[in-house]
Each structure stands twice: as C-alpha cells, then as structure tokens.
Homo-oligomer: A and B are copies of this chain.
Amino acid sequence: MSILTRPILEINLNNLLENYFMLAKLAHTAVPAAVVKDDAYGLGAEIVAKMLYDKAGCRNFFVAHAVEGQKITKLVPEATIFVLQGVGEDSIEVFKSSSKLIPVISSPLVLQFWLKNKPDNRKPAIQIETGLNRLGFREDELAALSSQELEVFGMVMSHLACGDEKDHFMNAHQIENFERLKKIYFPNILGSLSASDGVFLGEKFHQNMVRLGAAMYGINTAPYRQNQMKNVVCVKAPVLQIANLPKGDFVGYSATYRASSERKIAIVSIGYGDGVPRSLSNVGKIFFKNNGHIAEARIIGRVSMDNIICDVSDVENLNVGDVAYLAGDFYTLDDVARDAGTISYEIMSRLGKNTRFDKKYIG
C-alpha cells in the first residue's frame, strides 16, 4: 500500500503522434498543420509542438494569440506559426520579435492596422466568413478590397460550424461559399477550410491545408461513429481515505447526497481546481483497476476544489493510495464530457494548468 497525495495527468505523446499521422494520411492531398493554441489544449504547447516538428516534420502551427506563438518559435525554428486572433496594439511587438509569426486577419480594420504597422513583408493569412458568423471578412468587405490589398495575403482560410455532423446542410453551404469566394478573390493562393472534423468529410474539404487539433489530441470529432483516434489523456488521482458512511449521513457541500443505507466511500485527491467539472457532482463516475477488471464507482455529493467523494461499496480490494481513474482509454474525456454536460475540448483545456498536477509524458 502506498500513501500518495497528488493527481496525475498522463499524456501519451506516442498516441498523439499516431493520431497526427493518421489524420495527415486521411488528408494526404493537403499540408497538415498542428493546432497548439490554448497551450495545446492544456497538454503543453512546447512539448507537443517540438515533438511534431522533430518527429513528424510538421512545419505549420496554429495558435490563438501571438504570445502563445512566441513561446514556441525557438522550438520550431523553420516552421510558420499562424496567429488566429490576428494582430493589434497589444501584440504587434510580439510579431516584430519573429518573422515566423503570421497573423490571420479577419476584418478590414485589422488589415489597415497591419498595413500601417507591419514589421516586414511577410504575407498574412485572411479569414473569410462562410457560415460560422464568427471572425472573418464578410462578402461585402471582400468586395471593397483593392487589388493591391488582395495581393497582401498568402493564404485564405475559413472554419466549419458543423463539421462534426456529417450530413449537416451547413457543410455543403460553407464549402460552396468558400470555393466561390476563393475563386473570385484569391484564385492563386493556398486555401484552408477544415480543422480536425473536416478531415473526415472527404477530400473536397481538405483544400490545401488542414488544421489538426482536437482529433490529434484524441477527441472524437466525428461523433456519428466510433472514435478512430487513439486516446491521449489519462487522468488519475490517489485515494486519500476510505471510510464508512452511516445510513442517513450526508456527503459534501450543501449536503446534496444522503445515504439510504450504510455505504463505503473513498475520498480522491482531485477536484474542480484541477479541471474536473463541478457538474459531475452526484452524476460522474470514477474507476478502479483490480486485476485487469475495471470497477465503477459513482461520484456522490458535490465535487469540491481539491477532493471528490465516491461510493466504493461495490469495489473490491480497494486500499488507500490506490489510483482512481477519472478518464483513460476505457472511459475517455468524451465520455466524461457527456456526463458533465459539456464537450471534451473544454475539460481538456482545463486539466493540468495547475502546478499541483503531476504531469507525466509517455513517449
């Protein structure tokens, strides 16, 4: 028996790399780029970017903010790093620090700012609106650009709204818009429409560059069928204490769970402070491995900042120090997200941004 205290985040870089290759192969007519924004969805942008650069020859990366790109420029020296949130007064200095940082420009005002402040003649990308109604030049704004302005750009991109629903009408609508607008305004530069989800929609959606993010990290971006990606993230934490819960006793904050019979409970050293959704209170599951068998325990009471309590009455041979699994190969973050009422992207991006997590990289 061990006495342990810290939650553990295991990140399987081998599987991440395999996912990258699998997606790149599926979209083999396009250049694969890796999306490492939000600290590589919380998994560590520096480690992920460097591995993909060294082992997969990845030479194109996407981040949201220039400061995120700045953290990896030296690790991926020959690569191009696209900055999705564009450029402004609060980031132009960062762009000056490296010619590898390429702003994605999404509006006429930002274009004017870039033309006035650009440090050199690197060619930005342009984002165009095709149906998501998020960032991007609207059609009338494209029409208002001079031919000189149109020639500023090195790539044209857009983003799918419903790429995770194979037959959604929006997909056809967006590809039609993208190809039509590209043909009119940017016939001679590279085009990029799809993130991970679009990779599964067929070659038409791949265009010249695909932006591999969620699926590379193991998320099922094609939930209309079984996940084809390898799992990357495993979330574990030790059992700190096992106790009897008398019949009639309450558990956790606001006493939201009451024992209808005597139960055995385990207190596990992880909580919402570590990124576990508090919405798993009284509904989430925790797993224990016992001689190859996986035993399931229900979370009872509220998830608190540092601890989760679960009902282990039916878990055999459990000891203090044993490892509780919150997510792993057999119950992925997609499954956890379903229980929590959200998407795995949100959970993944919150895990491990805490020094108290013991982060372990496999591979």
Query: Is B133 a contact partner of A278 (Cβ separation < 8 A)?
Result: no
| B90, B245, B320, B356: the one within 8 Å of A65 (CB) | B356
Q: Which 3 A-B pairs have the closest CB atoms?
A: A38-B273, A353-B353, A3-B88
B64–A305 touching, CB < 8 Å? yes
Q: Which residues of B contact A343 (CB under 8 A)?
A: 278
- Known contacts A84-B306, A265-B133, A343-B278; A252 and B3 CB within 8 A of each other: no
B252 touches A320 (CB 8 A): no
What are some 14 contacts across the A-B interface (CB < 8 A)? Answer: A38-B354, A64-B305, A71-B355, A85-B306, A109-B320, A131-B250, A133-B245, A133-B265, A135-B267, A165-B254, A168-B255, A279-B279, A279-B341, A353-B353
Instruction: Name the B residues within 8 Å of A65 (CB-CB).
Output: 5-6, 306, 356
Contacts of A134 in B (CB 8 A): 251-252, 267, 304, 307, 309
Task: Verify if A272 is at the interface (C-beta below 8 Å from B).
Answer: yes
User: Which among A179-187, A204-212, A236-244 touches the partner chain?
Assistant: A236-244
Does A313 belong to the interface (CB within 8 Å)? no
Whether B87 contacts A3 by the Cβ 8 Å rule is: yes
Q: Please give, as numbers and ranges, the residues of chain B lying within 8 Å of A249 by CB-CB distance.
A: 133
- Asked if A330 is at the interface of the complex by the 8 Å CB criterion, the answer is no
Point out the residues of chain B lying under 8 angstroms from A251, CB to CB: 132-134
| Contact across chains for A39 and B135 when beta carbons are under 8 A apart | no
Contacts of A133 in B (CB 8 A): 243, 245, 249-252, 265, 301, 309
Identify the stretch in A16-24, A142-150, A344-352 within 8 Å (CB) of chain B at 4 or more residues.
A344-352
Verify if A161 is at the interface (C-beta below 8 Å from B). Answer: yes
- Total interface residues on A, CB under 8 Å, equals 83
The distance in angstroms between the C-alpha atoms of A66 and B5, with both chains bound, is 9
A294 on the B face (CB < 8 A): no
CB-based contact B5/A243 at 8 Å: no
A68-B304 Cα distance, complex, nearest whole Å: 17
- Does the CB pair B243–A356 fall under 8 Å? no
Q: Report yes or no: B39 in contact with A355, Cβ–Cβ below 8 A.
A: yes
Known contacts: A267-B135, A320-B109, A354-B38. The answer to whether A238 contacts B64 by CB under 8 A is no
Q: Which of A3, A131, A254 has the most CB of B within 10 A?
A: A3
Q: Take A252-B133, A278-B346 as given contacts and tell me if A238 and B88 are in contact as well, using a CB distance cutoff of 8 Å.
A: yes
Q: CA of A161 to CA of B249 in the docked complex: distance in angstroms?
A: 12
- Most chain B CB within a 10 A radius of its CB, from A6, A244, A273: A273
A110 within 8 A of B: yes
In the bound complex, residues from chain B placing their C-beta under 8 Å from that of A349 are 272-273, 305
Is A4 positioned at the interface, with any CB of B under 8 Å from its CB? Answer: yes
Given A6-B85, A86-B240, A107-B320, 16 other A-B residues pairs in contact with their CB atoms under 8 A: A4-B89, A6-B67, A6-B88, A6-B90, A37-B305, A64-B305, A68-B356, A85-B307, A106-B240, A132-B251, A132-B252, A134-B304, A134-B307, A136-B241, A350-B350, A353-B353
Enumerate chain B residues within 8 angstroms of A267, measured Cβ to Cβ.
134-135
Residues of B within 8 Å of A67, CB to CB, are 6, 355-356
Bound Cα distance from A291 to B235, whole angstroms: 48
- B-contact bits for A161-178, CB 8 A (1 contact / 0 none): 110110010100000000
Q: Which residues of B contact A109 (CB under 8 A)?
A: 1, 3, 241, 320
